[in-house]
């Protein structure tokens, strides 16, 4: 089916087709075909004519094309004689499909493409609508995942910065701040003064709970 010439030597590409329909290519030089011819002469007397050898001008394109045609006719004639390919040298010369010929290889490629198309998601197509049963199953699944992986986890302090939960507490106004400090200060005296101290504490607590003036500055409330 073709030929290539490298460093003054011509290699012929020969396409072989098996009885099963498998095809493959072999690459042979004229010398290799001549060696095969010598082996076949030991088994067959009526071999086809082998293209003649030429020492000068064997790189001429016209001669190469003519020799290629002659080699093709020779091999066709040999295979008509040995339809079952019994001679070991001929079997080795022809080789075999790797692994199962071009036809099987193309079939394998097609199977791979079909498998990939079945598994890949086609984003060009609109999503299929979900029925109520599948929707309920997905909601249940997502709810379980939320409870397991989100709601059960501790809150990272960094997430408290956005709503200002980690900010300083709201400050009291000066007057109420002094009353609160007086409540936190230790009581003086002992014994009979407990009732007086307790009364003062209750009065102070009443002022804190129900102040005449607002505890916090309204302008600083969140």
Give 93's pLDDT tier (boundaries 50, 70, 90).
Answer: very high
Pair of tokens at residue 76: 């066709």
User: Which residue, among 221, 220, 215, has the nearest Cα to 176 in the 3D structure?
Assistant: 215
Four-point Cα dihedral 157, 160, 161, 165, nearest 10: -120
- Please give the helix or strand (H or E) that residue 13 lies within, else none: strand 9-17
| Cβ atoms 132, 178 nearer than 8 A | no
d(CA 174, CA 217): 9
Residue 17: per-residue pLDDT: 85
Residue 95: per-residue pLDDT: 86
What average pLDDT does the structure give for the chain?
A: 76
CA distances from 102 to 20, 21, 75 (A): 12, 9, 21
**Is the pTM of the predicted complex or chain greater than 0.75?**
no
Q: What is the pLDDT of residues 28-54, one digit of tens each?
A: 999 999 999 999 988 888 899 998 887
Q: Residue 119: pLDDT above 60?
A: yes
How large is the average pLDDT for residues 185-214? 69
Q: What is the pLDDT of residues 125-150, one digit of tens each?
A: 677 777 888 888 888 988 888 888 77
Residues contacting 59, CB < 8 A, separation 6+: 5, 8, 10
Residue 33: per-residue pLDDT: 92
Q: Residue 184: pLDDT above 60?
A: no
d(CA 40, CA 33): 10
Residue 176: per-residue pLDDT: 56
| Cβ atoms 138, 60 nearer than 8 A | no
d(CA 30, CA 9): 9
Q: Residue 106: pLDDT above 80?
A: no
Lowest-confidence range among 36-40, 57-61, 130-134, 216-220? 216-220
Residue 78: per-residue pLDDT: 92
In this structure, how many other beta carbons lie within 10 angstroms of the beta carbon of residue 132? 7
Tell me the angle at which helices 174-184 and 194-209 cross, rounded to the nearest 10 degrees: 150
> What SS3 state is found at 161?
coil
């Amino acid at each position: 089916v073709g030929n290539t010439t490298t460093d003054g030597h011509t290699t012929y590409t020969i396409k072989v087709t098996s009885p099963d329909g498998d095809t493959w290519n072999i690459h042979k030089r004229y010398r290799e075909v001549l060696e095969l011819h010598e082996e076949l002469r030991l088994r067959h007397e009526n071999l086809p004519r082998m293209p003649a050898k030429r020492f000068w001008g064997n790189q001429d394109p016209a001669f190469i094309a003519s020799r290629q045609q002659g080699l093709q006719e020779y091999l066709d004639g040999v295979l008509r004689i040995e339809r079952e390919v019994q001679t070991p040298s001929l079997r080795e010369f022809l080789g075999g499909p790797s692994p199962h010929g071009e036809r099987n290889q193309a079939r394998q490629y097609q199977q791979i493409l079909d498998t990939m198309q079945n598994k890949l998601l086609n984003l060009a197509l609109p999503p299929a609508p979900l029925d109520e049963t599948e929707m309920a199953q997905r909601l249940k699944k997502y709810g379980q995942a939320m409870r397991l992986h989100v709601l059960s986890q501790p809150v990272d302090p960094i997430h408290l910065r956005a709503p200002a939960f980690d900010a300083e507490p709201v400050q009291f106004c000066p007057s109420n701040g002094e009353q609160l400090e007086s409540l936190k200060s230790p009581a003086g005296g002992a014994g009979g003064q407990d009732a007086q101290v307790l009364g003062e504490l209750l009065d102070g607590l009443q002022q804190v709970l129900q102040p005449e003036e607002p505890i916090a500055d309204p302008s600083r409330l969140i």
